[in-house]
Amino acid sequence: MTARDEQINEKDTESGYLENLLNDAATIPIDADVDGYTIEQPPWYDAAKFKRGQQFALSNRAGIVTAALCGLIAVLAIPSILDVLNFTKRSSTPRTAYKRYILTILHTLNWYKEDMRPGTKAWKSLAYVRRIHVTSGKQAHAANAKMLVSQKDVAITQFGFVGYVVLGYQKLGIQYDEEGMEGFVHFWRTIGYMLGLEDRFNLCTADMDSSRRRLVLVNDQIIRPSLQFPSDDFVRMTNAMIDGLWCLSTMLDYHAFMFLTRRLSNLPGHYYWDTEPRDGAQPIFKEFNWYSRVMLYFLMVVHEVLLNITVFRWYFNWQFKFNTEVVNEYFPWLAIIKFGVKDAYVRIVY
């Protein structure tokens, strides 16, 4: 099959993608056997396009990280994903959430910075994450037959890293360029495949338009309704996430980031600027306390104003790099104060 035939085939089957994701994908585990899979590059892997995706992510580091954090919040609104995370008990308190999500950041940075080939840290990191998915899924399924880490859950988790970047880059201060965005989508298409996601369920395809349509479908039909009517467990888990990661960035505030997440998914009432069209709903942020409103103002100015200015984008990219690669590595002083020395230092163990 040629690349052109592949694109046509994807467009022909687009209308059934959501139905397949919600039905077939929900019943298929990401891997049936802990030892029954191999990590390998997909047959359609394009090294040059993958590298462009990495460069795009690193040059927009500040916006990409915020998009991923909001994406992780959105993913927690999905009951099947939240049930497994509740079962593992690895992210239900600020202490455990800090360790889990710092690890998530470190793994993702490995993927963005290194070649994806056998023997590299990125390859070992990806293999570790896949093994954790398989093990957690089997343990959860053994405890409750209704729980598993399914193809659907991994596809929705994939949305958490790529969805808001593609659909909401203007609200995040991410500098759009066509080749860079196509590379970014190819990057996450590759990551999804290597984590066990079947091509038919992969949100990222060979065609940018097809990928965007799939992302819109998942946002409109799955993410947005889940964010609009979240469970009590969602509130507890997302509070733990923000409280834990506050040690990495003191600008994190629960209400501000929840607003930004729902804004990226286009929920009613989540407009901010006076020039924005109104949807009839009352502006949600007006109900926040003064501190959350200040933090939200900072977020809005950084992402929708300052990151569009080169010198400020360089500064905020550098700030995040310094916090993760220097402060977090050598002296995570806020985490030491909050959680103690033993839990403050988080390292990847391959």
Task: State the Cα–Cα distance between residues 297 and 299, nearest whole angstrom.
Answer: 5
Q: Report the pLDDT value the prediction gives residue 107, as an integer from 0 to 100.
A: 94
| Largest pairwise CA distance in the chain | 58
| Pair 163, 219: CB distance under 8 Å | yes
pLDDT in tens, the chain (350 residues): 444 444 445 444 566 899 999 999 999 988 766 566 788 999 999 999 999 999 999 999 999 999 999 999 999 999 999 988 888 877 889 999 999 999 999 999 999 999 999 999 999 999 999 888 777 777 776 776 567 889 999 999 999 999 999 999 999 999 999 999 999 999 999 999 999 999 999 999 999 999 999 999 999 999 999 999 999 999 999 999 999 999 999 989 999 999 999 999 999 999 999 888 887 778 899 999 999 999 999 999 999 999 999 999 999 999 999 999 999 999 999 999 999 999 999 998 87
- What's the confidence (pLDDT) of residue 144? 65
The string over 228-244, giving b where at least 16 C-beta atoms fall within 10 Å of a residue's C-beta and e elsewhere, is eebeebbeebbebbbbb
Give me the pLDDT at residue 15, please. 65
Helices (H) and strands (E) in the chain, counts: 19, 0
Does residue 176 contact residue 164 with C-beta atoms inside 8 Å? no
For the whole prediction, is pTM greater than 0.85? yes
- Between the alpha carbon of residue 248 and those of residues 159, 305, 341, the distances in Å are 23, 23, 15
Q: What is the pLDDT of residue 281?
A: 78
